[in-house]
Amino acid sequence: MTAAATPATSPANAGERSGVRLARSRRNAELSLLLLAMALVAAYGAMVEANVLDTVTPTFWVPAAALTAVFLGMHLVIRFLAPFADPALLPAVALLNGLGVGFLHRLDLARSAPEERVDMATFAGTGGRQLAWTLISVILAAGLLALMRDHRSISRYAYTLGLAGIVLVMLPAVLPASISEINGAKLWVRIGSFSIQPGEFAKLALLVFFAYYLVRKREVLSLASHRFLGIDFPRGRDLGPVLVVWVISLLVLIFEKDLGTSLLYFGMFVATVYIATERVSWLLIGLVLFFGGAYLAYVLGEAVGGPFANFYVRAEIWLDPFAEPYDSGYQLVQGLLALGTGGMFGAGPGGGQPLLLPEVQNDFIFAGLGEEIGLFGLSALLVIYLLIVERGLRAAIAVRDSFGKLLAGGLAFTLALQVFVIVGGISGLIPLTGQTTPFLSAGGSSLMANWLLVAVLLRVSDAGRRPVTGVGGKVNRPSGGPPEQLHGAPTEVIKP
């Protein structure tokens, strides 16, 4: 007779040890990448001081050290609450966030008098405020990870979040321009010195609703009525949801006077529909509807003005920014000149003239960076964004429930679309928008919302990468819900 397997050698314990080793390996890789990212941020700070101050102060490392402490705290939260999450997400986001803080500190140095720069406080100015916003944002992200042990649990509040999202989207449009409008776009809510951009949080709430709704309507929206040029098109009566979101996006374009926000909301819905149905026809319908509506708004802006006038003016600036280079086209012209001046390799960190750019700390931070790090540096930043998006899509493919697939895929696409909108605007590819560059631009609303987005991706990634078999050979699943669908959030595998 063979002896019974001892606890130390049983398959259950072997599987448990294998899962622990896998989780520890991923978190150690994350820690190594995070420390490398912070070393790059510290090196960037030293180069900025060398060019701006002609010396490197003994405290050049302090902002990078403060950021390292903040991100190490987030790393520990992930190690304990999402041990199987993607190890590349946090380091990539931390690098972008750290470079943003470093560039804003560089702007603070440029704004101060030359004799005061060496003695300037490390945490003063816009860079210091952004560091504080980073701390708040990371705490919110950690809190969301702690509260949301299973991404499917938020599907219980899908309709509430959908209603909240619509309210947040429309709130700046109905408020007086004196408390909601900045640079022609009504995207803000300002009360005294406090201001917030509610649309940044609306995109997260709306995506939860879109994912929940499309899980249930996926079969209906996948039905084809006829085939044209090899593409299956949906039935006419199934166009209702897309038309409703299209009308809302046009209302945002007209009354909030911002193309980027309108494109972001409509684009993320159409992309989520495509992920759910795998029908290319929905992408074509979305493109035709959006660009048709934008062209109609342009024509009406020229003919009747009124609420369409702002979009018409922005489109005219986009078509010929050099027509009035010192007036309406000044911002875009300066951005293009900054990118051209930077060339392939840039003037070096701290070697440019970013203060010539209006709103360089917000809308045009990418152009300001481009002058100093050149095309190669900007390409590297875009690759980091691409890495975050790719990891989000990989989490969508790996997770085993339909709601998680749509949620992670929609979040990844939303981040990609936001980067496209802002980079396209400053490079002249599309009209200028009021969007901020994720993790780089100054301000708390965008930073908090995007860190919450990353927290959701980490949670979905943890669920998708968690080993299927665990202790005792039982099926392992994210904590917080039964193997059945959680309040209607199905767990069946759909084709990625």
- The amino acid present at 127, given as its one-letter code, is G
| Angstrom distances, CA of residue 195 to CA of 170, 188, 346 | 16, 7, 34
Backbone angles phi, psi at 190, to 5 degrees: -115, 130
pLDDT for the residue numbered 237: 62
3-state SS assignment for residue 456:
helix
- Residue 186, pLDDT score: 80
pLDDT computed for residue 184 by the predictor? 72
Q: Decide if 82 contacts 76 (C-beta within 8 A).
A: no
Q: How far is the C-alpha of 377 from the C-alpha of 345, rounded, in Å? A: 7
Phi and psi of 350, rounded to 5°?
A: 85, 0
Among 486, 450, 370, 470, CA closest to 93: 450
Side-chain-side CA neighbours of residue 387 (13 Å): 17
Residue 489 has phi, psi (to 5 degrees) of: -90, 100
Residue 456 CA: distances (Å) to CA of 200, 264, 319, 373: 15, 19, 39, 31
- The token duo for 94 is 């931390």
125 dihedral zone (left: phi>0; alpha: psi -120 to 50; beta)? left
**Rounded distance, CA 379 to CA 343, Å?**
12
pLDDT for 2 equals: 46
Q: What is the mean pLDDT of each run of 10 residues along the chain (496 residues)?
A: 48 62 88 97 96 91 96 97 96 98 94 85 88 97 96 94 91 85 80 84 93 86 63 66 83 81 88 87 86 89 84 90 90 94 94 92 93 96 97 95 95 95 92 87 94 97 82 45 38 37
**Which pLDDT does position 202 carry in this prediction?**
93
- Predicted pLDDT of residue 117: 85
Please give the structure tokens belonging to residue 87: 């190890």
- Tell me if 130 sits within 8 A of 101, measured CB to CB: yes
pTM above 0.75, yes or no: yes
Question: What are the domain boundaries of the chain?
Answer: 152-296
Closest to 437 (Cα-Cα) out of 456, 407, 415 = 415
Contacts of 249 (CB under 8 A, 6+ apart): 262, 263, 265, 266, 290, 293
Distances in whole angstroms, Cα of residue 354 to Cα of each of 341, 342, 358: 11, 11, 9
